Structure 1
Amino acid sequence: MNAPLPLTEVPTATSIDHVLDLHLRLAQGAVQRRFSDIFSDLGITQTQLTTMILIQENAGTSQSDIGRTLQMDRATVMGIINRLEGRGLIQRGQSPTDKRRQTLAITEAGTAMLSIARERSTELGNWLKERFSDAEFHMLAALLKRIHEVDIKAF
């Protein structure tokens, strides 16, 4: 990892250097490619993995809860849930307190997959972290959260 240059030594920027949406898209593409390399044999996407983690960590959660947290429309979330359920990784259930609400739970197969996926997530996290100092990494996470304005922990 290279130390940041003092502001007095930063090279003159080209016009494209400040097209932030371009850099966000390129960074996301790099992360997606790395994710695919690490997780390809599990046949799971980033969104499916995140959904499974949210379900596992939030007993009795629903499709609506997932949609709000991930800022996704109902149809998209339903497709994700259907695919995960079709693979036997999650199951739908009935809320004991609200008959209109379906709950989601991780199956044994889903728990086994998440165990493997969490180990591999460490590899992906390390790949990201090696590009930054600890302070830069935490700052980047905070700045990205500010853009999307979602408090995942408030789920």
Structure 2
Amino acid sequence: MQRQFSEVFSDLGITQTQLTTMILIAENPGTSQSDIGRTLQMDRATVMGIINRLEGRGLIVRGASATDKRRQTLEITEAGIGMLSVARERSAQLGTWLKERFSDAEFYMLAALLKRIHEVDIKAF
């Protein structure tokens, strides 16, 4: 699956974790690095590196929280929205590629098992 992701997304220059982070930011405007870290179960330094790379590419921006001056908020940019649009189309291709390898029953069993292991909502497929 990792190899297929790399092939499908190689020209976008984005990793699975960066893409997941962008989706979380887009779906939760004003979220923070700490929120992202908790959701992805990643340490602060790792999340900061991801955020720095995404911000450096102009895909997200940091802002000041209106309620807590110590907290930085994260927002998706127009460029980030464009990237997500392309990425969602490609994710659909990736989902189709995966589904083709299983019967319907096998696929739903795989999805249920992965959901149980990772506690992740995999309705996207």
1:139 corresponding residue in structure 2? 109
Q: With the length of structure 1 as denominator, give the TM-score of the two structures.
A: 0.73
Q: Distance in 1 between matches of 2:121 and 2:84?
A: 22
One-letter identity of the residue aligned with 1:58: N
2:42 corresponding residue in structure 1? 72
Matched, 1:87 2:57: yes
Q: CA deviation at 1:150?
A: 5.3
2:88 corresponding residue in structure 1? 118
Q: CA deviation at 1:109?
A: 0.7
Identity of aligned residues (%): 86
Q: CA deviation at 1:90?
A: 0.3
Matched, 1:61 2:26: no
Provide the secondary structure at the position in 1 that maps to 2:70: coil
Deviations 1:70-100 (A, max 9, x none): 1111111100000000000000011111212
Given that 2:63 and 2:74 are in contact with CA atoms closer than 8 Å, whether structure 1 keeps it comes out as yes
Largest Rg, 1 or 2 = 1
Q: CA deviation at 1:69?
A: 1.1
Matched, 1:98 2:68: yes
Q: Distance in 1 between matches of 2:90 and 2:60?
A: 20
Q: With the length of structure 2 as denominator, give the TM-score of the two structures.
A: 0.90
Q: Distance in 2 between matches of 1:117 and 1:58?
A: 18
Cα–Cα, structure 1 residues 123 and 150, in superposed 2: closer, same or farther, change >3 Å? Answer: closer
Matched, 1:43 2:16: no
2:99 corresponding residue in structure 1? 129
Q: Distance in 1 between matches of 2:120 and 2:89?
A: 25
